[in-house]
């Protein structure tokens, strides 16, 4: 089950990046290495099996390399996904914020998500996401509430390749 939850968290992070990419122009933030801390609480996993009680909160720290090219590539990827299983709606981006809703459907589950991010300045942002998941693996449904803070680390991405994330910690 932890693998499924981690996969869903990664899916959400990728969805957020893809929705950012709805605009080909990069946001008003610095390009380079960014670190994002997320705190996620989950409801609906109470009956997932023995030992799951109290295991409804997760934190993670991920680093990513943002470049104008990765921004453009993500834009192209989201355009391709629109024809597939995911649909982004109510997308809004300006120099201070980004928000969108997304629905994804597969044979196993359906997710609906709302994401909001605020660009505090060129080196900091914060946001929230709420995701509801239904399907055979989650017959009672599951809701994830996520808060995130992200900050710029450096112009050099070091060993973090553009388009790939590096998990620093996950609890």
**Range of lowest pLDDT (17-21, 37-41, 130-134):** 17-21
Mean pLDDT of 27-46: 86
- Least Cα distance to 163 among 37, 26, 70, 63 occurs for 70
What pTM, to 2 d.p., does this model score?
A: 0.70
Report how far residue 51's alpha carbon sits from residue 44's, in angstroms, rounded to the nearest whole number.
Answer: 14
Q: Of 163 and 24, which is predicted with more confidence?
A: 163
Which pLDDT score is estimated for 51? 42
Q: Which residues contact 73 (CB under 8 A, 6 or more apart)?
A: 21, 163
pLDDT per residue as tens digits for the range 101-134: 889 888 888 999 999 989 899 999 999 999 999 9
- Least Cα distance to 64 among 171, 144, 168 occurs for 168
């Amino acid at each position: 089950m932890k693998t499924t939850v981690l996969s869903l968290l990664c899916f959400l992070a990728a969805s957020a990046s893809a929705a950012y990419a709805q605009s080909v122009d990069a946001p008003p933030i610095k390009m380079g290495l960014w670190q994002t801390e997320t705190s996620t609480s989950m409801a609906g996993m109470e009956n997932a099996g023995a030992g799951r009680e109290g295991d409804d909160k997760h934190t993670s720290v991920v680093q990513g390399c943002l470049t104008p090219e990765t921004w453009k590539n993500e834009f192209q990827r989201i355009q391709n996904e629109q024809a597939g299983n995911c649909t982004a709606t109510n997308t809004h981006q300006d120099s201070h914020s980004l928000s969108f809703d997304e629905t994804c459907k597969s044979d196993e589950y359906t997710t609906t998500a709302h994401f909001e991010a605020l660009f505090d300045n060129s080196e900091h942002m914060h946001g929230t996401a709420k995701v509801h998941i239904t399907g055979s693996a989650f017959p009672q449904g599951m809701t994830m509430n996520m808060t995130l803070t992200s900050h710029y680390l450096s112009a050099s991405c070091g060993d973090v390749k553009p388009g790939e994330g590096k998990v620093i910690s996950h609890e």
